[in-house]
Structure 1
Amino acid sequence: MVEIYYIDIEEEISGLDHDALLGICSREKRMEASRFRFEPDRKRAVYGEALARYMIAGKTGLSMNELIFDKNRYGKPYIRGQQRIFFNLSHSGRYVICGLDQEEIGIDLEEVKSMDLGIARKFFHANEYIYLLSREPEQRMDALFELWTLKESYIKYLGVGLQKPLDAFYFNLEGPSVELHSNDRIPAFIQSCTIKGGYKLAVCADSPGPIRVRQMAVKDIVSDIGRRGLQHMQK
């Protein structure tokens, strides 16, 4: 099962709770966050890594501080020394989201908002642009962001960044299930859905699914981090 947790960066928490999240992040991530000018960007950086460490530690039994994150040459994150646990992060608007699985995974989250369809004409496959034009005007933004998140999640699943152009493959959304046409490997599981607040979420994974999507309160994560830390000290 693909596990997906997301948290709201606008949730009000105390300074001590924020420090607890910061404390389980790597030194590099803390330095990266400090360089952002705006608080929401700092929160996305810290909350994303803290959420990933929390989820992975819960799955593997390792201490959150033991986990060493690294990136491949195209920027896809992985856990050094762990061959059977994979994760991927995304953020948009008020949410930070993390997907976790025992095989390769890519996820993308986007807040649906008004956008010029010209971006699809310029960057998407021609078949996808034709599909967008076939939708009723009030349906086009929803369809655009469904395609956008599917394409981003697939590129993140492959782990090749923008080395693979967005028009080099296409998704067909007109059948009973999503179809991907690509010369690269095809994930066993592809799904798009809408989460709280009208955000589009897409997942590409090598495991056959299904997915479990769950929103977590930041305060609950901090509380659990405290309990785990106490148990670790008592061992």
Structure 2
Amino acid sequence: MNGILYMDVSVFEDVLLYEKGKTLLSAERRMYIEKLKNPKTARLSLGAGVLLFFALQKCNYTEQLEKIKKTPLGKPYLKGIDFQFNLSHSGTYALCAYSNRNIGADLQQIKEKLPEKTEKILSKDETSFLTKFTQPEQTQLFYRLWARKESLIKWDGRGLRLPLQEISFIKNGTLTDILEWEDKTLYFKEYPKINEKYAVCICKEGTDFARNAEEITAEMLKIF
């Protein structure tokens, strides 16, 4: 069981679709969204919750929607069933990755310029690697590396306690999709076809990734 769902949350600028989407959420997420004052933030959180609903539906687990718990460090999970998931959002896109094993997912909107203080995120090898490319290529690569590291953080579940600058995805001078992390071998897969302006990466043990990501559209929402 492996899948990746995504959507452009701009569809929720339609008030009717926004209200329709809220009916697919858990009571906890619905209450959280209703307290948000920033419409953009609310649409992103709504989109992530809607994608989780669709993921549970595909696996015949919709009755589990109200049973989501969180670890002491805030990672959401469902106890006692063979369903792991991870949510992410950025820009106007939301993402949900699910599997029968622990999974981390991240989506990053690629900005026009590099953010300040990249040394807090990149290793020395990664910083050196980026200097081989043009400025636009450096920006693309930076966000791809950041998505990798965020997906690792979310797979791990310990949050920003991980020393990002000590983790390197450069091996023998090239970008690698495999990382030896503590006592495990982790694999990373990108999904550039979702949108060229976003970096998307999934982290998990094993190479049984979903081949393609599936878009959830406004038309699919309207049938509920």
Same fold (TM over 0.5): yes
Matches within 5 A, 1:149-228: 149-172=147-170, 174-175=173-174, 177-187=176-186, 189-194=187-192, 195-211=194-210, 212-223=212-223, 226=224
Classify 1:73/1:18 alpha carbon distance in 2 versus 1 (closer, same or farther; 3 Å). Answer: same
- Equivalent residue number for residue 232 of structure 1: none
- Equivalent residue number for residue 56 of structure 1: 56
Larger mean CA deviation between 118-127 and 102-111 belongs to 118-127
Cα-to-partner distance string for 1:74-117 (whole Å, 9 max, x where unaligned) = 221111332x1100000011111100111110010011113346
Structure 1 gaps of 5+ residues are 227-235
Partner Cα separation in structure 2 for residue 95 and residue 201 of structure 1: 11
Classify 1:168/1:74 alpha carbon distance in 2 versus 1 (closer, same or farther; 3 Å). Answer: farther
- Equivalent residue number for residue 91 of structure 1: 89
Larger mean CA deviation between 15-24 and 144-153 belongs to 15-24
Indicate the SS of the match to 1:186: strand
Q: Give 1:179 deviation, angstroms.
A: 3.5
Q: Is the 8 A contact 1:3 1:101 kept in 2?
A: yes
- Equivalent residue number for residue 5 of structure 2: 5
Larger gyration radius, structure 1 or structure 2: 1
Pick the aligned partner of 1:143 from 141, 144, 147.
141
Q: Is the 8 A contact 1:87 1:101 kept in 2?
A: yes
| Amino-acid identity (%) | 23
Indicate the SS of the match to 2:185: coil
Indicate the SS of the match to 1:4: strand
Partner Cα separation in structure 1 for residue 196 and residue 120 of structure 2: 28
Q: Give 1:133 deviation, angstroms.
A: 1.8
Partner Cα separation in structure 1 for residue 97 and residue 164 of structure 2: 22
Q: Give 1:151 deviation, angstroms.
A: 0.4
Cα-to-partner distance string for 1:176-218 (whole Å, 9 max, x where unaligned) = 742425335332x311232224211011012422322121203
Cα-to-partner distance string for 1:130-185 (whole Å, 9 max, x where unaligned) = 11122222310011001000000011111111111212321127447424253353
Classify 1:198/1:113 alpha carbon distance in 2 versus 1 (closer, same or farther; 3 Å). Answer: same
Partner Cα separation in structure 1 for residue 158 and residue 189 of structure 2: 20
Indicate the SS of the match to 1:90: strand
- Equivalent residue number for residue 22 of structure 1: 22
TM-align CA RMSD = 2.2
Partner Cα separation in structure 2 for residue 92 and residue 125 of structure 1: 23
Q: Which 4+ runs in 1 deviate beyond 6 A? A: none
- Equivalent residue number for residue 230 of structure 1: none
Q: Give 1:29 deviation, angstroms.
A: 1.2
- Equivalent residue number for residue 233 of structure 1: none
Classify 1:215/1:15 alpha carbon distance in 2 versus 1 (closer, same or farther; 3 Å). Answer: same
Partner Cα separation in structure 2 for residue 4 and residue 100 of structure 1: 6
Cα-to-partner distance string for 1:21-76 (whole Å, 9 max, x where unaligned) = 212322221221122211111111122112102211221x2335654111112221
Structure 2 gaps of 5+ residues are none
- Equivalent residue number for residue 33 of structure 1: 33
Aligned amino acid, residue 55 of structure 1 = A
Cα-to-partner distance string for 1:208-233 (whole Å, 9 max, x where unaligned) = 2232212120330341xx3xxxxxxx
Larger mean CA deviation between 141-150 and 49-58 belongs to 49-58
Indicate the SS of the match to 1:152: helix
Larger mean CA deviation between 6-15 and 148-157 belongs to 6-15
Partner Cα separation in structure 2 for residue 24 and residue 79 of structure 1: 17
Aligned residues: 221
Give the TM-score of the pair, scaled to structure 2: 0.88
Classify 1:134/1:69 alpha carbon distance in 2 versus 1 (closer, same or farther; 3 Å). Answer: same
